[in-house]
Amino acid sequence: MKKLKELLYGMRQEKEKGVSFVHSDEHVHFMSYEDLFKKATCVKEYLCHQGVRKNDEVIITTDTTECFYITFWACLLGDFIAVPLSFSLDDLDKLKGVLEVCHQGVFVTDNQEMYQHINQQALGFKTCICWDLDMLENMGGSPQDTPTERDTFVLSEEESGMDIAYIQFSSGSTSSLKGVGITNLGILTNVDNLLGSRDIHGEETFVTWIPLYHNFGLFFNLFMPIRYQQNAHIIDTKYVVKNPVFYLDYCHKVRGSVTSGTNFYLNFIIKLLQEKGIREDWDLSCIHSMFLGAEPISITLCNQFAAYMKGCKFRRSALAPAYGLTEGTLAVSATTDDDCAQKLSVNKESMGIGQPLEIVSDDDPLASDIISVGKVLPAFQLKIVDLAGNQLKDGHFGLIYIAGKCVLKNYYNLERDENFVDTWFNTGDIGFIHDERLYITARYKEMFIYNGKNYYDNDIEKYIHKLGVFQDERVVIHGYRKHIDDVNDSVICFIQGCRDMDTIVSKIKKVLSQLNNVLGIYINDFVLVDVIPKTVSGKVQRYKLLKNYLNGEYDKKLSELAVEMDKVNQIIDCDASSVGDFMAKTLSEVVDHDLDYSGSFVSMGLNSMEIAKLHMAINIKYGDCISIADLFEYTTIEQLAEHIVEKVDGRKESETLIS
């Protein structure tokens, strides 16, 4: 089997099983695979009538999951290349970046406002199409339901390696986007490897809330369920963000057996359960596999989640940490039932590239707990190398290289870059092999994770440059994981070329505000530097800046800047009432529904992004006085306001003593 559409044709008469599109507790829309096939075939024929041809790129940007799902199926059936893309009208640069890569772009949406706006922009699309759900509901009469000569299923090995099903573009980027062409062969191979790792072959019920625009979501919402014609339940991501407990409640209700999650969700649901407790009627023994991925996995969160869920019969062995990346189709390694959430305690001072592994006891002050992401899947070759590309023995820290039929050979319509080394791809991740299991420790590539999203250092630098605030200064961004169990990476901004302290502090405030309001990320430290190290070719050496930062070489300048920042923060008398009013005003601006300001932040229904924005607004207004964890410890506006006043007063007292 070489093509996904062979699976789709095999399900064209399946009336009993299908997909439940879950928009809320009261709104669940079931469509059988037979019905989905008919609608997708009609959509395919309509696209052909509009001039869409084989290998044309179909950019899919829809508000409703049903429209996305049917359009994606239509692309598979028509041999069009689907391009899932999530963006807003305020983020047209991302769409323009995609069009620089896609040469025969077709735009499909179900948002009338977006459709009209894109049409007026004259961006060079081959054609633009706007669906509505009623239109798709009425499709599905008697389309052609048997393969034709153009519906080729089996390809040669050379053809299968170039037969692209869809393109996944790097997330978090605003320009210079890289597209990964995901092949039919890569998808089918990766699906079989993943399902085989957990012995999933029979009757299953898939439940997930991960967006379809993400590789993780596409596999668990679409590819894995259709492999053996199983039922899938796709919960609206926005609904889960507002009501996180609904996801677990729904798994209990429909007896979901295979599901997925992320670090960020585990952290959020644990905080919620700490406040509200678990439902006594839940029985989650039905879940035998909860794949964890999309970001580094925390052993602490795994243990906390398993402990909380034990009361509703959730098995710790169901947790299945995995490692992967888009360039490897999805998963590179995965844990089995007998291999769940294993960890090693490693000396954190011996984790440099090329250094041997030093295992220590759990209570060692230098211990850093690292979770296993399982054994490498059969379709992959993997090696650990040093900075010169020399292969290292097992038990040594190094860069992770991968190869195999699931690994891309090149980015879509781009020249090969330094990530490709002969037949190998440099993942940019750092890890080691121990007892045949893979462990991930850090990222070497210039990327960080914030609120569950990937951001590239140079993209944030470009965004700051576009603000026009730092006109005479050079800015370098670098994100890194301070602690393995952290949900968000720490982000450092290095600034070269500043002369006047008052001016630089004012500029920092403006940049912080913009990053908070627009991107929803927070810069932990601004560091003033005299020199930005570069390679001979002029490339910034971010790792050297970070090394100097961690070694304390910038501590004096950090302290000087902190004093000036506090002055600008206007640390004057503030009381709990005024701080509370500020928080209420901030929430009214970032939340689109009515709030009970007397309740807890979790009971207000705040999602992760809204909590992050409140956290950043407070720190910008009152100085770096709270961590995001404080919003879960001081759970109401009143409690947090008193804590902020205490922190501010403490800093004022400290400054008075220094003076």
Q: Domain locations in the chain? A: 4-320, 342-443, 447-568, 576-658
Residue 495 β-bridge partners: 475, 528
What is the end-to-end Cα distance of the chain in Å, rounded? 76
**Residue 548: band (very low, low, confident or very high) from pLDDT cuts 50, 70, 90:** confident
Residue 566: which pLDDT band, with cuts at 50, 70 and 90? low
Q: How much is the pLDDT for 550?
A: 86
- Percent pLDDT > 70 in the chain is 86
| Confidence at 419, pLDDT banded by 50, 70, 90 | confident
Mean pLDDT score of the chain: 84
| pLDDT number for residue 396 | 96
Q: Do residues 340 and 317 make contact, with C-beta atoms less than 8 angstroms apart?
A: yes
CA distances to 67, 295, 315, 319, 505 from 341, rounded to whole Å, are: 37, 15, 12, 7, 45
User: What pLDDT does residue 77 have?
Assistant: 95
- Amino acid (one-letter) located at 103: H
Looking at residue 398, its pLDDT comes to 92
Residue 649 has pLDDT above 80, yes or no: no
Q: Tell whether the torsion through CA atoms of 42, 43, 46 and 47 is positive or negative.
A: negative
Q: What is the pLDDT of residues 278-288, one digit of tens each?
A: 778 899 999 99
- Assign domain 576-658 to its CATH superfamily: ACP-like (1.10.1200.10)
pTM: 0.74
Same CATH fold assignment for domains 447-568 and 576-658: no
Task: Identify which has the larger pLDDT, 427 or 481.
Answer: 427
Which CATH fold topology does 342-443 show? Luciferase; domain 3 (2.30.38)
Alpha-carbon Rg for the chain, nearest whole angstrom, is 25
pLDDT for residue 41: 94
Place of tokens 């930005």: 532
Give domain 447-568's CATH number out of 3.20.20.210, 1.10.10.10, 3.30.300.30, 3.90.1150.10: 3.30.300.30
Is residue 314's pLDDT more than 90? yes
Task: Give SS3 for 555.
Answer: helix
H-helix or E-strand containing 289?
A: strand 289-292
Give the best-scoring range by mean pLDDT among 210-224, 306-320, 372-386, 490-504.
372-386
Q: In the CATH scheme, what is the code of domain 4-320?
A: 3.40.50.12780
Tokens linked to 546: 């970070």
Q: What is the mean pLDDT of residues 109-124?
A: 89
CA gap 634, 617 in Å, rounded: 16
> pLDDT by residue (tens digit) across 152-188?
566 655 555 579 999 998 653 334 678 999 999 999 9
pLDDT attached to residue 609: 67
